[in-house]
Structure 1
């Protein structure tokens, strides 16, 4: 079904109105037809109309004028008078039937139009519970507040069953999101604490004056592995948390966020010999400042890590007609168009590189897309000619 066909389809309110009005018009037409037949049969069975202007005599004799009438009146024979009576009866019956059809048709049209108007009104009344369900679903989708309910208190019918089913679904979703939030909070504490303790113990062991070179090398390796595990856990927790509801939003400017992230990454860009191009125009929007900063930070980190020494990084922020956008591009290895979408999947890296740990955990772009979706935004990526990637986030 094409989009034009879907747009031309009448709404359920229009269809109900047409059903109500159509049933009334069909019933009115049937009633008018039955009335027409009854009147016609009754007219054919009536007696001949009286002719008061003449007096019928014997067959073949002229009709004498009635006393008191004008002598200018024409004299008729009995046969002629009978024919006139029959013709007058037929004319009278036909006039009555024509009048019935004309006036009945007009009345049926007027009442049919009124029936369509009443059908539109009563269709609205009948669909009002559905409008209430739709409004509630729209508010929940817009505010993402799963605590709201329809609480429809109408009769036990199909609409009541639909409203109760929707409330049950919202309740289960609320419980699921709350369980996920508690899990993320608990996991954040239970996973970060032992890793922090391990890092402290290893660092103390490495810094001991009597530590051998083997112990120091082992400790440095363990610190690298622990740092990767911390980043992995941090990424997983951020991914899980960013897929939840973003409730606390505040005004922010993507240009300010981009400048802050680039300042933090200056040490790494200088170490790699990268040239950073800033085009930080005003890009006001609303969102969770921590998550939005993490979004831009992941884009910049990916642009730095998946780059060539002495390459370039571009960061652009600007206002759009529907909000704001940030664009991060870099030089680097050539990326095929069919590989772009797979980069947004968790733990997926370019050309399935799952071994190297110096380039991150493979969650960077997954977190970017999750944060953008939680803010009602979109993420698109296209390969750059000559190598590298250009990622655009619209909020």
Structure 2
């Protein structure tokens, strides 16, 4: 009963088929045993009555035959009972095996649908199950899933187009606003309050521009890797990102330790991969503490390239860290409107990694700080590069 309520569908079908098969066998054996027990061997009565001295001899002979028949019937009953029990044991084993085979046979189309559905992700919604066969319940289920995938694909594509188009269209009025501010503060006789207001407006416009750039990059990453992908040296991307943040690193007096393996390459869009590494390094610098440290390392493990960035700092809650890969998520009090970025950095990293067949892992270090790990499919290194 526990297996029927809490087991898998395959287990429930196996128990059901085995139970029905076994009960049928038990009923058949019980009927056979009942009929056999009723068919007892008996001694027919003599139609001619014995006379004289033969009466005693006949009675003794009848009793002897009855005792022999009783023993034969008892032996026959024991043999039939033992044979029935053996047959029942064999049928129990056979019923489980037959039930398992039947359950797997019945659930085979569902396993095929499950495996095909698992291979479909947000980046491959154009794929369909395409189950063929008679118009039964299984095909109805597959067609329903295909219809759902079609609606999801349309919805995802519309969302991405909206984000990309809106971000692109907003750049024109943003540039106009920036030009108007520059013209206003450049006029002669401008008051100090006007100059201060112009500076604040430029700062906010820069933040809006950064946010729009993040939206465009995120939308581009969610569209997948373009067909003209190239082999990109991950170590070179890391070195350029660290060099680009040299001023911020020096201002915070950060200690940077590099352990970069030469020739580690990934295949994909160079601009997107560069932005991914840039965001990871920027996150490590911007959210670090004064006189802190950063450890950057790259490695090649089997068929994967791994980039790991570790930073020190206060002890973080892993539940808060897990949300950092979502758009506009920040740690603690750093919510929307803070000065610490737009909240799109690590979500862009996660989207770019997923678009290239990789993944982003965020781990709160027990000693404090954060460990950011990016894994991407590697590109075979030529022999001359390994030498």
**TM-score, length of structure 1 as denominator length:** 0.73
Mapped pair 1:118 → 2:98: yes
Q: For the structure 1 residues 49 and 101, does the alpha-carbon distance in structure 2 shift closer, same or farther, using more than 3 Å as the test?
A: farther
How many residues are paired up? 361
1:136 equivalent among 90, 105, 116:
116
Structure with bigger RCO (C-alpha 8 Å, 6+ apart): 2
- How much does 1:228 deviate? 1.5
TM-score by length of 2: 0.74
For residues 160 and 336 of structure 2, what CA distance do their matches in structure 1 show? 29
Distance, in Å, in 1 between the alignment partners of 2:311 and 2:69 is 100
Match of 2:26 in 1: 29
**In structure 2, C-alpha distance between the alignment counterparts of 1:340 and 1:160, rounded to whole Å:** 41
- 1:83, CA displacement in angstroms? 0.9
2:170 is the counterpart of 1:187? no
The answer to whether 1:299 aligns with 2:299 is no
2:29 and 2:319 mapped to 1: Cα distance?
Answer: 70
Aligned to 2:149: 170
Match among 35, 40, 45 for residue 37 of structure 2: 40
Larger Rg: 1
Gaps of 5+ in 2: 376-387
Partners of 2:253 and 2:87 in 1: CA distance? 89
State the distance in 2 between where 1:28 and 1:340 align: 56
What is the Cα deviation at residue 378 of structure 1? 1.8
Task: Find out whether 1:348 has 2:341 as its counterpart.
Answer: no
Q: For residue 314 of structure 2, give the secondary structure of its aligned residue in structure 1.
A: coil
CA distance in 2, matches of 1:197, 1:186: 18
- Work out whether residues 280 and 317 of structure 1, in 8 Å CA contact, stay in contact via their aligned partners in 2: yes
1:133: Cα distance to partner? 0.7
CA distance in 1, matches of 2:374, 2:315: 23
Q: CA deviation at 1:339?
A: 9.1
Of residues 100, 109, 128 in structure 2, which corresponds to 1:149?
A: 128
| Partner residue, 1:360 | 341
- How far residue 182 of structure 1 moved from its aligned partner, in angstroms, is 1.3
2:232 counterpart of 1:234: no
Flag structure 1 segments of 5+ consecutive residues without an equivalent.
Answer: 63-75
Residue in structure 2 matched with residue 58 of structure 1 by the alignment: 51
2:251 & 2:18 partners in 1: Cα distance?
78
- 8 A Cα contact 2:329 2:335, kept in partner: no
Q: Matched residues in 2 for 1:49 and 1:392: separation?
A: 100
Secondary structure at the counterpart of residue 77 of structure 1 = helix
The RMSD of aligned alpha carbons is 4.1
Indicate whether 1:317 and 2:298 are aligned: yes
Distance 1:158 1:60, change over 3 A: farther
- 1:140-187 CA-partner distances (Å, limit 9, x unpaired): 14x942122223344555433432332222122111111112112212
Residue 59 of structure 2 corresponds to which residue in structure 1?
79
Helix, strand or coil at the partner of 1:97: helix
Residue 112 and residue 269 in structure 1: after superposition, are their counterparts in 2 closer, same or farther (change >3 A)?
closer
